[in-house]
Amino acid sequence: MAEADGFDIERMIEPVLAAGARTLVHRAAGVVADTKADASPVTVADREAEAILLAALAAQCPDIPVVAEEEAAAGRVPDVGGRWFFLVDPLDGTKEYVGGGTDFTVNVALIDGEAPVAGIVYAPARGQLWCGTVGRGAWATEVVDGAVGARAPLKVRDCAGAPVAVASKSHCTPATEAWLAASGCGARVSVGSSLKFALIAAGEADVYPRAGPTMEWDTAAGDAILRAAGGRTLCLDGQPLTYRKARYFNPGFVASGGHACLPLRPFVDDGK
């Protein structure tokens, strides 16, 4: 990976942890959710966490544009005509967050052309952090009282026997269920947010099929970490999932680790 001008993933860890800490402060005080135009929930924590991340990226890389979920929802989307841009989802899994669960994450990704090349995913309620840079590898660690622990390298596992699937808690559609059945998947882990990519990158699962639509900021950071750990994310036509698409909208995809026993058959994107 060529260097993005001024970007250092290590310098983004502290702001990501700060953003995550902010989400926990609001959760402890009691979460009140508003509804956006697309009927999805949004909280003060989403907006304040995003502000922390935007300030850090502006200080580190003032010339690289940032497409962030809440800014985009407000109609503030920068031009991304250059080589690099960032995708930010300050609180992926807001429904889980509002419901008192732990499957929500803070996400920052760097895009080079149409590919995610560096990503950070932090699950503040779980105290887990994942980082990856394509060509340099990926790692995970625990975070206790704001302190980052020892780093463990991440690598996807070779798929032996029936693949273990990881599926969305709240968006598992009939098309996804049909794909899982046809592909011979055995055990299934249900988890929310970008944690699905992290589980595959860590070798704890083999495949994540998603028939329904997502946004690029939902997937970019986790996808970068998965690719850095040796995995891949394919569209329904078998081509790699790309970024910088119209409206930053993702079609269905299949993210996976080792591929020896995995029939990456296409499925019909039901748009639900």
Please tell me whether 94 is known to bind a ligand.
Answer: yes
Please tell me whether 46 is known to bind a ligand.
Answer: no
Mean pLDDT calculated for residue range 236-251: 92
Position 163 pLDDT exceeds 60:
yes
Pairs from 5-11 (Cβ < 8 Å, separation ≥ 24): 5/61, 5/63, 5/64, 5/84, 6/60, 6/61, 6/62, 6/63, 6/64, 7/60, 7/61, 7/64, 7/84, 7/110, 7/118, 8/60, 9/110, 9/118, 9/120, 9/131, 9/133, 11/56, 11/60
Q: Is residue 263 part of a domain?
A: no
Position 97 pLDDT exceeds 80:
yes
Q: Are residues 132 and 242 in the same domain?
A: no
Structure tokens, 29: 């005080």
pLDDT of residue 270: 45
Least confident of 90-94, 174-178, 266-270: 266-270
| Model confidence band, residue 16 (pLDDT cutoffs 50, 70, 90) | very high
Q: Is residue 81 part of a domain?
A: yes
Domain that holds residue 78: 9-154
Q: Are residues 129 and 25 in the same domain?
A: yes
The residues, any chain, with a CB within 8 Å of residue 250's CB and separated by 6 or more, are: 213, 214, 215, 216, 218, 219, 241
pLDDT of residue 185: 84
Position 152 pLDDT exceeds 50:
yes
Please tell me whether 218 is known to bind a ligand.
Answer: yes
The residues, any chain, with a CB within 8 Å of residue 54's CB and separated by 6 or more, are: 66, 68, 71, 88
Q: Is residue 268 part of a domain?
A: no
Structure tokens, 260: 């020896």
Q: Is residue 116 part of a domain?
A: yes
| Model confidence band, residue 264 (pLDDT cutoffs 50, 70, 90) | low
The residues, any chain, with a CB within 8 Å of residue 64's CB and separated by 6 or more, are: 4, 5, 6, 7, 57, 82, 84, 85, 86, 110
Q: Is residue 55 part of a domain?
A: yes
193 three-class SS: coil
Please tell me whether 69 is known to bind a ligand.
Answer: yes
Please tell me whether 92 is known to bind a ligand.
Answer: yes
CA distance 253 to 261: 18
Please tell me whether 237 is known to bind a ligand.
Answer: no
- Tens-place pLDDT, residues 170-222: 556 777 888 888 888 878 888 989 999 999 999 999 999 988 789 999 999 99
Please tell me whether 242 is known to bind a ligand.
Answer: no
Q: Are residues 91 and 180 in the same domain?
A: no
**How many C-beta atoms lie closer than 10 Å to residue 7's C-beta?**
17
Q: Are residues 24 and 54 in the same domain?
A: yes
Position 266 pLDDT exceeds 60:
no
Position 162 pLDDT exceeds 90:
no
Tell me the C-alpha to C-alpha distance, in Å, between residue 124 and each of 20, 89, 149.
Answer: 5, 14, 14
pLDDT of residue 261: 56
Q: Is residue 147 part of a domain?
A: yes
Q: What is the CATH number of the domain that holds 196?
A: 3.40.190.80
CA distance 72 to 248: 10
Q: Are residues 53 and 148 in the same domain?
A: yes
**How many C-beta atoms lie closer than 10 Å to residue 100's C-beta?**
9
